[in-house]
């Protein structure tokens, strides 16, 4: 793994890089010349990305970073600045989905969901912004979700609400940071064939067969498999991220995946009521 910064080389930081979108994005950026810090909470999961980076002699470094921990974020950012002196790209990708009907989600479970998906983005971005402002440039990519297009899904109230929050956060930040030469980009993936669904955390009460929402949740779970079969691979999202961060004037928002584009076209052509009925039929068969 090459790690020294060459002249005019840009520096990228990616969170949640142990698998899925973060993994593919870290590899794609490093393959395209970025000195890439592939960060992750658990360094026991580094073997795959480490071996590929060494084999291809990529400019990629692996760094421990837990987005829910102030000290971890501070230490990671200090290490990056000490080594590279700059951050040109920040990809906020780390996150997970809490699955469960709204009434079944405990407050502590909901807080934990927000701690990673929203406050984690806030914590890492606020740590990176001083250096970006100092260098008067930078691009922040926040990985949102195509669920903001469809508006939600059964069992997704916790997860979906964090992604709507990311959308509002990003759009507001864009106004504030533009005077400093910093761009803010949203990437909204559709269904992606990763371990994300398998890694969903089920709310404890939602696992009770006596939950009044048990039948609804069973139908929703059954709909995941065909959606995954028709989903896109994580490298589709990585290529969208690469396009955004190498564009002189990136779009404020990018869709990633064939299904999300189909949903968007359908939503444009239907009333809210028609779109709701269509999605309900697809998800609640």
Q: Active-site positions?
A: 159
85 sits in the region (left: phi over 0; alpha: psi -120 to 50; else beta) called left
Distance in angstroms (rounded) separating the CA atoms of residues 256 and 146: 8
Contact 95/16 with Cβ under 8 angstroms? yes
Torsional sign, CA 237, 241, 242, 248: positive
Torsional sign, CA 143, 91, 119, 211: positive
* Token duo for residue 50: 């480490």
Distance in angstroms (rounded) separating the CA atoms of residues 261 and 228: 15
Contact 1/55 with Cβ under 8 angstroms? no
């Amino acid at each position: 793994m090459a790690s020294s910064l060459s002249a005019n080389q840009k520096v990228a930081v990616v969170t949640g890089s142990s698998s899925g979108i973060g993994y593919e994005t870290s590899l794609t950026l490093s393959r395209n010349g970025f000195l890439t810090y592939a960060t992750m909470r658990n360094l026991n999961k580094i073997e795959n990305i480490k071996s590929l980076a060494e084999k291809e002699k990529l400019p990629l470094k692996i760094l421990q970073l837990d987005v829910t921990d102030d000290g971890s974020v501070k230490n990671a950012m200090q290490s990056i600045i000490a080594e590279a002196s700059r951050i040109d790209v920040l990809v906020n990708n780390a996150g997970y989905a809490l699955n469960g009907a709204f009434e079944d989600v405990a407050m502590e479970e909901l807080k934990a969901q927000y701690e990673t998906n929203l406050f984690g983005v806030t914590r890492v971005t606020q740590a990176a912004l001083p250096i970006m402002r100092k260098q008067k440039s930078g691009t922040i990519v926040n990985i949102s979700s195509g669920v903001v297009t469809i508006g939600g899904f059964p069992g997704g109230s916790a997860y979906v609400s964090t992604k709507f929050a990311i959308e509002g956060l990003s759009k507001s930040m864009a106004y504030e940071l533009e005077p400093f030469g910093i761009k803010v980009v949203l990437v909204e993936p559709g269904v992606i064939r990763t371990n994300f669904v398998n890694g969903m955390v089920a709310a404890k009460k939602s696992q009770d067969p006596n939950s009044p929402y048990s039948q609804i949740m069973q139908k929703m779970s059954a709909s995941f498999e065909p959606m995954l079969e028709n989903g896109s691979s994580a490298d589709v999202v990585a290529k969208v991220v690469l396009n955004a961060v190498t564009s002189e004037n990136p779009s404020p928002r990018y869709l990633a995946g064939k299904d999300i584009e189909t949903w968007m076209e359908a939503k444009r052509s239907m009333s809210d009521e028609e779109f709701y009925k269509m999605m309900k039929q697809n998800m609640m068969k």
